[in-house]
């Protein structure tokens, strides 16, 4: 089946073809016809299965073909609301509307907390057809009188189980009475515990159930290894593994946009060509960075998961999980960027103490014990191995999947660069010490860790097994 078989508008198909999308994913095949028929939908799908397009594409078509009723003169009213738990996911959904609706005269806006509301309010005053929002900021702007949902036609609740985990259920229950009773509702959740099922029953009317099996296998041509390392040593370890010339073209994943910028900046400071792509970058900047990476002008591309959607680069030799994802399916999608079309690839994952629970989930999903590299310069016993079959490891708390620390947000750099563990607790070789110290100079403190880290591991000796066959990936 192709997207042409789903009876989508020529304008939407034009956008899909321009983006290189030809065949819908299973959830898109199942969901799009029902949404086009104006039916309520109960979707069980993990992140990474294509569910965003499963509701975005038919929603755009329905809004374009239907004439808004009781539309007053002046700014257009909100006709579709997509409620999502995180800023990152809201941005991604907004980008999907921008891409898929590029040939349609529909407007959308994305609103979320943690930033100034002024640009968001200005967009609302100009009028939007589609509003993508996080619960807190939505309720805030409704309370201030900037949002009216009385003429809403379609409501989408995305990542419902994550809403529950992040404590947004009460906010959702405050929002529901503000919506018109006559509407189409789409409900998506990765899991369906009793609380989520009860919530779905209050939102949906005679819904069509749609469920897809999450991806759980990795390509046999991708060699996977994990490095157990303390969090503050990760920048040094990244520099060490990049000393290996076998890492010709490397995609590095971080969980946050600020983290991507910090890693790229640190690599550039050490003479390693790197660029970052994430949701805060303009579309032109992201395209330019991706093109530089594809052409080989840039050796390392540092990306967040949302920004990396759709990346397909020939000869991508390595993927590095600088930070492990808190969703195991995301790991499968990350490492699937290499080892394509039967070519060999390598996936290196850095795991600190707080990420051991994520590693456990990943291994259970793929039903595989990932080998540990323990001969690198920063291997320490403080981070224990994670057996495939063992007791459950408690996950970190907090909206980002890890506990907040006093005075240290996700973008904060360490107050002082930490010396490599190899130097602190065992005799250090000249190659394992920061470059400045090898030259008899004091190491600078107060800089971001990646920029302050020196190269280590002479000749790229970090316990990694080299491939005999270095065929370029296709």
Higher pLDDT, residue 344 or 213: 344
What is the band of 285 on the pLDDT scale with cuts at 50, 70, 90? confident
- Please provide residue 174's backbone torsions phi and psi, each rounded to the nearest 5 degrees: -75, -30
CB 111 within 8 A of CB 135: no
Read off the pTM: 0.58
Q: Which H/E stretch holds residue 366?
A: helix 356-366
Alpha carbons 293 and 92: distance in angstroms, whole number:
22
pLDDT tens per residue across span 6-15: 999 999 999 9
pLDDT of residue 437: 39
pLDDT of residue 464: 41
Alpha carbons 85 and 158: distance in angstroms, whole number:
8
pLDDT tens per residue across span 216-254: 667 778 899 999 999 999 999 999 999 999 998 999 999
Higher pLDDT, residue 385 or 395: 385
pLDDT of residue 47: 63
Percent of the chain with pLDDT over 90: 52
With left for phi above 0 and alpha for psi between -120 and 50, is residue 116 left, alpha or beta?
A: beta
What is the band of 423 on the pLDDT scale with cuts at 50, 70, 90? very low
241: Cβ contacts below 8 Å, ≥ 6 apart: 227, 247, 320, 348, 376, 457, 460, 462, 464
- Please provide residue 44's backbone torsions phi and psi, each rounded to the nearest 5 degrees: -110, 105
Residue 420 has pLDDT above 50, yes or no: no
Alpha carbons 197 and 20: distance in angstroms, whole number:
36
Token output for 59? 């929603």
pLDDT of residue 282: 74
pLDDT tens per residue across span 138-147: 999 999 999 9
Q: Which H/E stretch holds residue 187?
A: strand 184-189
What three-state secondary structure class fits 300?
Answer: strand
What is the band of 202 on the pLDDT scale with cuts at 50, 70, 90? very high
CB 321 within 8 A of CB 349: yes
pLDDT of residue 403: 40
What three-state secondary structure class fits 466?
Answer: coil
Token output for 430? 């000249």
pLDDT tens per residue across span 103-137: 999 999 999 988 899 999 999 999 999 999 999 99
Q: What own/partner pairs with CB < 8 Å and gap ≥ 24 does 305-309 have? A: 305/253, 305/255, 305/330, 305/333, 305/334, 306/88, 306/89, 306/91, 306/92, 306/278, 306/279, 307/260, 307/277, 307/278, 307/279, 307/281, 308/251, 308/253, 308/277, 308/334, 308/337, 309/92
Residue 442 has pLDDT above 50, yes or no: no
CB 273 within 8 A of CB 297: yes
Q: Kindly report which listed range (282-286, 374-378, 458-462) carries the lowest average pLDDT score.
A: 458-462
Candidate ranges 49-63, 158-172, 406-420, 421-435; pick with highest mean pLDDT: 49-63
CB 44 within 8 A of CB 211: yes
State the average pLDDT for the chain: 81
Domains of the chain in sequence order: 3-211 (3.40.50.300), 222-403+417-460 (3.40.50.300)
Residue 73 has pLDDT above 60, yes or no: no
What is the band of 214 on the pLDDT scale with cuts at 50, 70, 90? low
Residue 306 has pLDDT above 90, yes or no: no
pLDDT of residue 311: 65
pLDDT of residue 106: 95
Percent of the chain with pLDDT over 70: 77
What value does the mean pLDDT take over residues 264-291? 87
What value does the mean pLDDT take over residues 336-360? 86
Could you write out the DSSP letters of every residue in 116-148?
A: -SHHHHHHHHH--SEEEE-HHHHHHHHHTT---
What is the band of 74 on the pLDDT scale with cuts at 50, 70, 90? low
Token output for 283? 């579309």
What value does the mean pLDDT take over residues 65-87? 77
Residue 176 has pLDDT above 50, yes or no: yes
pLDDT of residue 310: 53
């Amino acid at each position: 089946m192709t997207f042409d078989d789903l009876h989508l508008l020529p304008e939407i198909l034009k956008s899909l073809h321009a983006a290189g999308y030809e065949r819908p994913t299973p959830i898109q095949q199942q969901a799009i016809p029902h949404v086009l028929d104006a039916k309520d939908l109960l979707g069980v799908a993990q992140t990474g299965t294509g569910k965003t397009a499963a509701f975005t594409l038919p929603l755009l078509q329905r809004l374009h073909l239907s004439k808004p009723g009781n539309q007053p003169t002046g700014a257009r009213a909100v006709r579709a609301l997509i409620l999502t738990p995180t800023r990152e996911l809201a941005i991604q959904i907004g980008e999907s509307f921008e891409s898929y609706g590029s040939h349609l005269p529909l407007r959308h806006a994305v609103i979320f907390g943690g930033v100034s509301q002024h640009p968001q309010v200005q967009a609302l005053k100009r009028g939007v057809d589609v509003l993508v929002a996080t619960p807190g900021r939505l309720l805030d702007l409704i309370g201030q009188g900037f949002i009216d949902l009385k003429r809403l036609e379609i409501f989408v609740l995305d990542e419902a189980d994550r809403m529950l985990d992040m404590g947004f259920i009460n906010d959702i229950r405050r929002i529901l009475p503000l919506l018109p009773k006559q509407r189409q509702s789409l409900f998506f959740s990765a899991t369906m515990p009793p609380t989520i099922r009860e919530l779905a029953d209050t939102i949906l009317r005679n819904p069509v159930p749609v469920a897809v099996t999450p991806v759980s296998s990795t390509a046999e041509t991708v060699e996977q290894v994990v490095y157990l390392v303390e969090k503050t040593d990760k920048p040094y370890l990244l520099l060490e593994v990049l000393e290996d010339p076998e890492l010709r073209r490397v995609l590095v994943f971080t969980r946050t946009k600020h983290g991507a910028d910090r890693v790229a900046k640190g690599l550039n400071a050490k003479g390693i060509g790197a660029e970052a792509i994430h949701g805060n970058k303009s579309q032109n900047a992201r395209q330019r960075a991706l093109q530089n990476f594809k052409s080989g002008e840039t050796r390392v591309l540092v990306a967040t998961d949302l920004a990396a959607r759709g990346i397909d680069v020939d000869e991508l030799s390595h993927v590095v999980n600088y930070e492990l994802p808190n969703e195991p399916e995301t790991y499968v999608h990350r490492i699937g960027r290499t080892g394509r079309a039967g070519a060999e690839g390598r996936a290196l994952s850095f795991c600190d103490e707080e990420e051991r629970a994520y590693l456990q989930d990943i291994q259970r999903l793929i039903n595989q014990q990932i080998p540990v590299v323990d001969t690198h310069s920063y291997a320490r016993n403080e981070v224990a191995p994670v057996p495939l079959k063992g007791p459950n490891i408690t996950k970190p708390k907090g909206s980002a999947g890890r506990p907040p620390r006093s005075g240290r947000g996700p973008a904060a750099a360490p107050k002082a660069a930490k010396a490599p563990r190899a130097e602190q607790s065992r005799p250090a070789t000249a190659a394992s010490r920061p470059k400045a110290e090898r030259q008899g100079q004091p190491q600078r403190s107060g800089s971001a860790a990646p920029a302050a880290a020196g190269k280590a591991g002479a000749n790229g000796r970090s316990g990694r097994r080299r491939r005999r066959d270095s065929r370029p990936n296709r």
